[in-house]
Amino acid sequence: MLVLEQLQRRFGEVVALDRLDLTVAAGELRGFVGPNGAGKTTAMRCAVGVTTPDAGTVTWEGRPVDLEVRRRIGYMPEERGLYPRMRVMEQLVYLARLHGLSAAAATANATHWLERLGLSARRDSAVEELSLGNQQRVQLAAALVHDPVLLILDEPFSGLDPIAVDVMSEVLLERAAAGVAVVFSSHQLDLVEDLCRSVTVVDAGRVVLRGDVRELKRAGDRRLRVAVDGEPTWVAALPTDTEVVDRGNGEVTVALGARVDPGEVIALARASGPLLHVRLEEPRLSELFRDALQDRLRS
């Protein structure tokens, strides 16, 4: 298990990490989400030892992340890190060797990942000759080629086309199912919600939401989305423990506290005009994030 505990890091006046905790267990696919500037890249750099925290600890299986552990990490840095002129196959074999694999194992692994990611035909191309999407695939192959037990990927989905997003998602799920501890950062909460079982959501260097996605959603306020034919004047009479969280295109979204009866709110809406549509849903992760931020501002 990877454990980041109470990490603190400042850059001058900027507090990038403010007692941040993050864990990733073997076999887990954890989404590490938050808006730009939240501290995701800094935390991941601390995890792989590229950045040193001002305070706090980073351990893998209870031990500090030393050179031996680092060899077993697959890291995709935000700034990416391939040699543009080197040929794809050559580069992957080189990286695998750098992580301690034998020549035979390195070649076998590089061949496997090029095939798996649909890059076999480009094995002898220089990286700079590839499309951006294919360069991203090589980046992923580079993070995987030495059979890491821990995968740390910084924004692996950014800039991917929809097909590449599917390939990336499949590979991450597959690696986690194979027992690898996988964590990736993203600023897209919707993507993470659909892909991951567990999440850590950060803002301004702090964890604002963490846990099992399904449990978080179940514990959050339900959303009732209602549209009536006519002005939604009914919202003025909403019962307590409800809140209008969105409105647009004639549709009103109301967050319902645990004890609120959705039927009561629907009846209220009907009094303003005929119903066009009604939907009762669990909250999206992005909505829970917004709720958590608001709660923090209020407290």
Amino acid at 226: V
Map the footprint of Mg ion across residues 165-204, applying CB under 5 A: none
Q: Which DSSP letter does residue 126 get?
A: B
197 neighbors 183 (Cβ within 8 angstroms): no
H or E, element range at 21: strand 14-24
Question: 54, 42 in Cβ contact below 8 A?
Answer: no
User: Residue from 2, 41, 139, 164 that binds Mg ion (CB under 5 A)?
Assistant: 41
Quote the least distance from Cβ 267 to Mg ion, whole Å. Answer: 47
Number of residues written out for the chain: 299
Structural tokens at position 66 = 């030393």
For residue 38, the partner it binds in Mg ion, ligand ADP, none, with Cβ less than 5 to 8 A by kind, is: ligand ADP
User: Does 34 sit near ligand ADP (CB under 6 A)?
Assistant: yes
From the list Mg ion, ligand ADP, none, which binds 198 (C-beta under 5 to 8 Å, kind-based)? none
Sole window of 58-66, 70-78, 172-180, 224-232 interacting with Mg ion (rule: CB under 5 A):
70-78
Taking the complex as a whole, the smallest distance from the CB of residue 12 to ligand ADP amounts, in Å, to 7
User: Binding of ligand ADP at residue 239 (CB under 6 A)?
Assistant: no
Closest CA to 140 of 106, 114, 166: 114
Q: How far is the CB of 126 from ligand ADP (least distance, A)?
A: 29
Q: How far is the CB of 36 from ligand ADP (least distance, A)?
A: 4
Three-state SS at 195: helix
Distance, in Å, from the CA atom of 62 to the CA atom of 203, rounded to the nearest integer, reads 27
Q: Which residues bind ligand ADP (CB under 6 A)?
A: 11, 14, 16, 34, 36-42
Q: Which residues bind Mg ion (CB under 5 A)?
A: 40-41, 78
